[in-house]
Chain A
């Protein structure tokens, strides 16, 4: 403890609070840039809100009553249950960061087997259950899909090929035709020859109208492929819609043998913050979890506070534990919203259900998939926001052999006053939960419900130099999270992150 206090009380370039994925990545990037970083957590484990819990931590968090039993759940040490259910887009920013920082070397990844889309039953009140379809994106998948009509199969094939072929950065014909100098356009070959498509002028609605695709097709292209959580694609620039679809299509072929656009780390997402923390430590970052030699906490849950200089900028992080306070002096504090009550605003709530299963979904079994994502487009569930289902297994080393862990999540839409998490989950996640109650469905061994508010900082931190990350949103991947980190890095250092320079530093270190 004295040793701890002495180290804590030094002067630091930055003090980072919370070891969530975003904070660990920022620590790593700041340490690589030569900053002296102190990184603290009030928990005795890494990951904060983005940790993967072991089975005991999980049962404790949800007050499951009886302790987990090996007879029921298999080898208990093999469970690792994510607290933020997300997959990694193989062609996305996070993979770039993992490669450039070489943190990918610390981890192993495996592709997610299947990507599926939910369709509601024709008559919702008839007691029928919705169906889960494989996402038909390659021409071959499109041909065999029951989701698409015969005519639509041909149109879809043509459409996805066009999307994959165009270069969003280089509008075709931009320089050759003077009259279009101010209005870039892309072309496609239609019935009447080459057709100009002004993607920067059009919105998503106009774009899809032009292609004449069916409503159901457009729904899965925008929600499953372009990963819009709601109907905002309608007013979004068509170029954005196209580039989001491209990310999905490119991700599917990013590494050999992929059958979905997603990667997932062995042992769960909690490996990500740990890998970035190691990056920071390798570059001199100092780590202090709230754990003394004997495992007891070093300081109390509310013992950390901020100290400010006269000009209103932050001057240090104070640890009030014990008789005398000790101050980690710093001019920059970074952290997740849970450390900065009063400096954040609520942005909504996320509700989720976590199911521990001993069988996969029937649809997955048919395809031989051991992991999958199912997207439930909002309109199929009578909602405004999509529902996401993730399912992983022993193949990703997050469950014992023969066991599965499923996460259902969405943004809360209705009032929650006076409701239990279970009640909220049953209202908001009904379509997803039905997959586990329909006839022949795998009955969950355990089902946990959770609802939690999300927060964003009140200010961007450039005035008081307290930089707060946003809570993880309800998106199914990390793209928005990485953008938040890159933006914070820019605000903290005043420099735009140069991933190439990082790569050079990483090779020099090897």
Chain B
């Protein structure tokens, strides 16, 4: 699939990307479609991974996404602010067949603009576009909301893969490629690289 980038020449940028939105709008499904090319009709609500990574090759650069799933913490409105802290990009997902999830999506956009990284790139994704016959939110309405709020909008279907890669590629293009990396480290101390220090530490073990 297109998103599984060949090792591109040029520079590699890593960004934290988070998914937000009501339960069962298809956040995990979008991620699994993008990262693994998979779709399950009955996706377990918690996927058991802290985050997944996937790269997108642009013309002269490679964007590596570190994609965080909510791990179900949004279910009882208990998502920790840490989740979207430091995120360079966010995909706010709603279900086009459920109007409440669109309203909830708007609340997430507001929350991100209030609390998130000031330069965050926000994408609004109207998911389940394959269920157009049950549609409750018109794309024109979402489009006009998105342009009013300085974010961009796409309808997607994790089931049919429509616009999934396109969504991530569009985010990759919008992300600034000249600012210092928000994650990991920067001037900070990385106490557990995924492969480096953590692995060495784990081997050493503890008494």
Q: Chain B residues in contact with chain A, CB under 8 A?
A: 46, 48-51, 71-73, 75-78, 80-83, 85-86, 104, 114-115, 183-192, 194, 197-199, 201-202, 205-206
Contacts and interface: CB of A to CB of B under 8 A. Distances in A.
A284 B46 contact: yes
Contacts of B49: 282, 509-510
A209 B116 CA distance: 56
Contacts of B77: 289, 291-293, 295
Contact of B189 (A46, A102, A255, A507): A255
Chain A to chain B: the 10 pairs with minimum beta-carbon distance, closest first: A104-B192, A281-B71, A274-B82, A274-B80, A503-B202, A287-B78, A289-B78, A288-B76, A108-B188, A110-B188
A325 interface: no
A100 interface: yes
Nearest to B52: A510
Q: Is the interface of B mostly helix, strand, loop or mixed?
A: loop
B24 to A, nearest CB: 12
Contact of B206 (A100, A106, A292): A100
Interface string A266-306: 11000100110111011110111101110100000000000
Nearest to B50: A282
21 contacts: A7-B75, A46-B80, A46-B81, A95-B191, A99-B191, A99-B192, A102-B192, A105-B51, A107-B82, A108-B183, A108-B188, A255-B191, A256-B189, A266-B86, A267-B82, A271-B85, A277-B73, A287-B76, A293-B104, A504-B202, A509-B49
Interface of A: 4, 7, 46, 77, 95-96, 98-100, 102, 104-111, 255-258, 263, 266-267, 271, 274-275, 277-279, 281-284, 286-289, 291-293, 295, 499-500, 503-504, 507, 509-510
Contacts of A503: 202, 205
Nearest to A45: B81
B72 A108 contact: no
Given A281-B46, A500-B205, 9 more contacts: A100-B206, A105-B192, A107-B82, A109-B191, A275-B82, A288-B78, A293-B77, A503-B205, A510-B50
Nearest to A44: B77
Given A271-B82, A291-B77, A108 B184 contact: yes
Contacts of A284: 46, 48
B86 A108 contact: yes
Contacts of A46: 80-81
Contacts of B86: 108, 266
B202 A500 contact: yes
Nearest to B83: A278
Contacts of A255: 189, 191
Nearest to A263: B189
Nearest to A266: B188
**Chain A CB within 10 A, most for which of B51, B205, B206:** B206
A291 B189 contact: no
Contacts of A102: 50, 192, 194, 198
